[in-house]
Structure 1
């Protein structure tokens, strides 16, 4: 069982500097060696070349995005395996009850993944609060008002992102908006209502959208921008069914001139598609021959093909479901770009990767997530077969277009909804007008169904499906129809508050209904 197989990472700036120095000495400066977000290099330490005096604190928060408890095993289980997009995968017993319960419900109050995500995202909250505290209270740091405001905006974006995940997963959570010198005192902060949490998220993102730059220099690729804040704010509004504000926030991204759909859906999910014109926000990761995993994330490894020898590419979790497979329209090329079929004796030619490799017979799962399948040449170049360099796409432009389309339809603007929907379908069609015919209905209910369908196939395996089902109010009926018959509407839209956290709070935290 691979429950907490976390790759150790350097914790000090000194170690990070040594790692980068060794990397630069052994490799050419190209895409393979791009500096990861949240890490100093010889070129930006302490803060020349466009960096700022608060970056050591901000980068500490960014680096937490790569943590195992933030965007790896627990994240994948909670956001994807719980949905009808995916099955647990791997071998039947792998992960034990922690994983199996995420797939089949209910999740126990002592579930290790539930506690890991709680810990990981509150650590991100704390890192953001440390940066905010430095901006507000460290008089030894000399900075212009503009630098202070921009740094505050960046930290608030990261805090909002953490809280948006926490409130959707657990509902009532403690609102921690300051640094606690005594960790025990923080453990005793009572829960706030979801409405109070959303108010903080909205305030943070509104501030971030007003004060972040449109873009950063290539040196700082991946840092939060106005578009990232507005795009995330659109999703926050959409989750609360605030249709008009959602349209406004999404439109700020659309009209910014910073983003466009990447021409190829296929290449978007290859390494060359990272930080492309479609990227609104991504978690940055990197590998090099000298440091193949220390500055990466285990996101691709958890989902990689589970085999032997050269096919030992990961743990084999989060495998696309037959339910997702059936959702695609005939000829939709996104199906084979999302689902990697493995070879069987009955269909020996079916299992081809995007790089033309034939998968071997006998793999434990019939399908794997093709969106995280890594380039074999890259594996060899960095001496790492587990894809630790693979970025996590948190928000992309197609998602923003579909959010706008959904909000527009709900407010009666069917013309604009159809326009944005067609943009996404046209890219997927890739010039083949015989497939994915344009949606033309102006009936609100029919268009709503079409937009929901499009979100599922466009964003398949990208961690939005469960949250979409919950906010649409159809989680129970949909998941039970997909075979997750234990799903209880009154209980399972939220995870339990981890019993470990309730115990640490000495009973200040209280459990969610039904657990």
Structure 2
């Protein structure tokens, strides 16, 4: 099911770009009057000041990030439900494909695995279209700097897509040229080392050629900080500790980001694209168009109830395992877990007796914005892909692995201090200088700081503790199979055997 795949064509009157808009602030007439930023009109055609001649192609690449297969149902299942942070949720009979993810009974026929494969190759192909347009453009009036910046955007997005693919599937085909329908079915799989080399190359190029920031009308487009932040995570995943620390430090020292946004504000509409944000998938809505420029990420996880409390499908609910992971009185727990019978971040009394006892509080939308738009399902909420706290903790982890204890403790304390929010009676400062103890503390901090986001499963795999952790949480995890998803049988069949299955499936 592909709800958002659109072809954007330029004509002599209007070209409508993907929304790079954010919902900055609570409900107001200004908010309701917002239109998708980057819209082309007769006054700024062929592209807005500060844009470029390749925007119509770049637009499609950004737009594909909002699609069902990239940041909605398959994504939620693969990155969160498979971890010990979350359970399937919804109702027992609902979502059998998600249940396979939750219980690690995933079959090669799983439609969510196939959706992830198809969706990410669609992103990759859209990026390759941008690169092809640049390389074949003979217009000498287009400045080389404009071409470099457009290439950098495309390569950032392609690097992100391949990073997801190698962590999800392991061996995947490398496609660096435009293909019909984004097909990867007639190309043999490459080993992860080759895929990581391409990812590093793409993100290094992006980091060298993207701007530090964009004009407000282009908010949400990839920046130098986003490229370096993602590159740091790529290095960290490969245990390249020194490059990971050094690259994270570039982001930290850029003065583009900080931890000044209170934790309880980060995930609200007013917290979108804040100083905490390194990269977000952008979404927006208004009463006329409540979904067309949005993403269904919050909808599929929203509170499953009735009447005004019918806010979504109720999937991806916080587990009792995550609930027990927080230190006493850690305020991040309340902002992460919304309880049936509890109170929302906006002071609403949540009904008791809902289908699930807990829901993801980080995707909970502002009720005043819901009322103003006339829609309950939160399609306007951005998806946080990379936060500054994540970068700071990556630095801490890499520094500790390199024996740089002082630096690791300093960065760990930055994150805990923000969470503490002036209450010195909670979250005491970590002071251990033992490398193993500090490693455990940093891993614990990543879990509670980034709870119900998109890193826990991948963190467990790269730390080599997925089997012990997930089995202890009651999951049917097989270490010889379940670090990766199966190569979709549909894709193997289409390839006539060119693609081969992952071990254990």
> TM over 0.5: same fold?
yes
* C-alpha distance 473-288 of structure 1, shift in aligned 2 (>3 A): same
| 2:283 counterpart (278, 282, 285) | 285
* C-alpha distance 28-329 of structure 1, shift in aligned 2 (>3 A): closer
| Equivalent position of 1:23 in the other structure | none
* C-alpha distance 433-226 of structure 1, shift in aligned 2 (>3 A): same
Following superposition, the deviation at residue 37 of structure 1 comes to 7.0
Gaps of 5+ in 1: 21-26, 344-350
> Normalising by structure 2, what TM-score?
0.95
| 1:398 counterpart (374, 384, 389) | 389
Q: How does 1:81-480 map to 2 (within 5 A)?
A: 81-96=81-96, 98-140=97-139, 142-180=141-179, 182-183=180-181, 186-343=184-341, 351-480=342-471
Following superposition, the deviation at residue 359 of structure 1 comes to 1.4
Do the aligned partners of 1:153 and 1:207 also contact (CA within 8 Å) in 2? yes
Q: How does 1:40-119 map to 2 (within 5 A)?
A: 40=40, 45-96=45-96, 98-119=97-118
Coordinate RMSD, CA, aligned: 2.0
* C-alpha distance 257-162 of structure 1, shift in aligned 2 (>3 A): same
| Alignment partners' CA distance in 2, 1:497 and 1:19 | 31
SS state of the match for residue 191, structure 1?
coil
| Alignment partners' CA distance in 2, 1:509 and 1:88 | 30
| Equivalent position of 2:487 in the other structure | 497
| Alignment partners' CA distance in 1, 2:336 and 2:104 | 25
| Alignment partners' CA distance in 2, 1:71 and 1:44 | 31
Gaps of 5+ in 2: 20-26
| Alignment partners' CA distance in 1, 2:266 and 2:481 | 37
| Equivalent position of 1:511 in the other structure | 501
> Higher mean Cα deviation, 274-283 or 375-384?
375-384
* C-alpha distance 35-176 of structure 1, shift in aligned 2 (>3 A): farther
* C-alpha distance 389-44 of structure 1, shift in aligned 2 (>3 A): farther
| Alignment partners' CA distance in 2, 1:467 and 1:491 | 15
| Alignment partners' CA distance in 2, 1:164 and 1:384 | 34
Instruction: Figure out how many residues of one structure are paired with residues of the other and give that number.
Output: 495
* C-alpha distance 245-184 of structure 1, shift in aligned 2 (>3 A): closer
Do the aligned partners of 1:76 and 1:318 also contact (CA within 8 Å) in 2? yes
Do the aligned partners of 1:37 and 1:222 also contact (CA within 8 Å) in 2? no
Do the aligned partners of 2:4 and 2:64 also contact (CA within 8 Å) in 1? no
- Deviation per CA, 1:233-282, whole angstroms, max 9, x where unpaired? 00000000000000111011000010001331001111100000010000
* C-alpha distance 272-266 of structure 1, shift in aligned 2 (>3 A): same
| Alignment partners' CA distance in 2, 1:397 and 1:249 | 13
- Deviation per CA, 1:75-110, whole angstroms, max 9, x where unpaired? 0000000000000000011112x1111000121000
SS state of the match for residue 324, structure 2?
helix
Following superposition, the deviation at residue 502 of structure 1 comes to 0.6
Q: How does 1:6-25 map to 2 (within 5 A)?
A: 7=3, 11-13=7-9, 17=16
Following superposition, the deviation at residue 382 of structure 1 comes to 1.4
> Normalising by structure 1, what TM-score?
0.93
| Alignment partners' CA distance in 1, 2:193 and 2:36 | 35
Do the aligned partners of 2:299 and 2:311 also contact (CA within 8 Å) in 1? yes
- Deviation per CA, 1:6-53, whole angstroms, max 9, x where unpaired? 545654347974999xxxxxx998344545478656665421311111
- Deviation per CA, 1:349-376, whole angstroms, max 9, x where unpaired? xx11111111123210000000000001
Do the aligned partners of 1:37 and 1:63 also contact (CA within 8 Å) in 2? no
Following superposition, the deviation at residue 212 of structure 1 comes to 0.4
Do the aligned partners of 1:53 and 1:141 also contact (CA within 8 Å) in 2? no
- Deviation per CA, 1:407-442, whole angstroms, max 9, x where unpaired? 000000000000000000000000000000000001
Do the aligned partners of 1:115 and 1:500 also contact (CA within 8 Å) in 2? yes
* C-alpha distance 43-133 of structure 1, shift in aligned 2 (>3 A): same
* C-alpha distance 92-290 of structure 1, shift in aligned 2 (>3 A): same
